[in-house]
Structure 1
Amino acid sequence: MVKQVYQYAVAFITLVMVIGGGVFAFMSIADYVSPNTYVESFEDYKNMRGYKGEGAVEKEEISEEELRALYDAMIVQQREQSKQYALNSFIKSLGWIIIPLPIFLFFQRRINREKKNRS
């Protein structure tokens, strides 16, 4: 009886791990395909970049075009970082599928074999 409970418990726990890994993998793929990044507005970026340092009164001499190019580069970098994070998350999620899946299959076969032997 205890052996059966143990086998069912291990099978259930590993199945839950595989399902959770699948859900997290799907969410990571969705984040990779459509990264959800917060991007500040150009006006906020311009106001933050407008001064040389905290407390300084002088403004940097950067043209609007250079500032726009820096802003666009920052947006691209943030999106690439979000994609890289999503890819990293996907690889970690695969671990939650690949590691417990053989254990689940092993215990599931064992449970089925014991059911057949009892019959």
Structure 2
Amino acid sequence: MVFPLLIVAAILVVVIIVVLVVVVKNETEKGGRDVIKNVYIYLVLFATLMMTIGGSVGAFMAVADIVSPVPYYQTFEEFKRLETEKPRTDTSAPEREITLSEEELRQQYDAMVLMEKERQINRAKNSLIKSFGWIIIPLPVFVYFQRQLVNKDN
């Protein structure tokens, strides 16, 4: 599934390069240097705009994860069953079996759910900071080249 997609992307890149070369060769007599500058400016504008959009989407998703983290997937009944079936690894204690009460199991489960929720929120905060990087870093480059384009048209 990925392999045909890579082939299509490679063919698309080759076609774009061929079109650019043909346009530059045809426009060489008519100010080809300006054409190359325009193509460069538009490519930089496109790349930085895509980076900024991607960062904005990532930031929105991170904020959504902070506001409403994914609920913990394991139910209390599954946790209880797994805890009662867990083999003992403590060899210093006698062979008697230690069983936890329902209340102790519930406290352990609630603590685990709370820790998982906090872990997801911290992961979302980290993702939010990274997404802001994808917005803040290319944005000045985009603004600079946008002004270059506006100044050139005047």
TM-score (norm 2): 0.70
1:37, 1:82 within 8 Å by CA — same for their partners in 2? no
Aligned to 1:30: 64
Higher relative contact order (CA 8 A, sep 6+): 1
How far apart are the structure 1 equivalents of 2:108 and 2:50? 46
Aligned to 1:97: 135
> Which one of the candidate residues 77, 86, 91 is aligned to 2:124?
86
1:59, CA displacement in angstroms?
4.8
1:51, CA displacement in angstroms?
3.3
Task: Please list, as runs of the form range in 1=range in 2, the aligned pairs for 1:49-68 lying within 5 A after superposition.
Answer: 49-53=83-87, 59-68=97-106
How far apart are the structure 2 equivalents of 1:52 and 1:7? 63
Q: Percent identity?
A: 49
2:59, 2:128 within 8 Å by CA — same for their partners in 1? yes
1:12, CA displacement in angstroms?
1.0
2:55, 2:133 within 8 Å by CA — same for their partners in 1? yes
For this pair of structures, how many residues does the alignment match? 115
Runs of 4+ deviating beyond 2 Å: none
How far apart are the structure 2 equivalents of 1:62 and 1:49? 9
The answer to whether structure 1 residue 43 and structure 2 residue 67 are counterparts is no
Structure 2: runs of 5 or more not aligned: 1-34, 89-95
1:52, 1:60 within 8 Å by CA — same for their partners in 2? no
How far apart are the structure 2 equivalents of 1:59 and 1:31? 41
How far apart are the structure 2 equivalents of 1:59 and 1:10? 68
1:52, CA displacement in angstroms?
4.3
2:72, 2:113 within 8 Å by CA — same for their partners in 1? no
What amino acid is the match of 1:61? Answer: T
TM-score (norm 1): 0.90
What amino acid is the match of 2:136? Answer: I
Paired residue secondary structure (1:50): helix
Structure with larger Rg = 2
1:60, CA displacement in angstroms?
3.2
The answer to whether structure 1 residue 14 and structure 2 residue 52 are counterparts is no
Q: CA RMSD in A?
A: 1.8
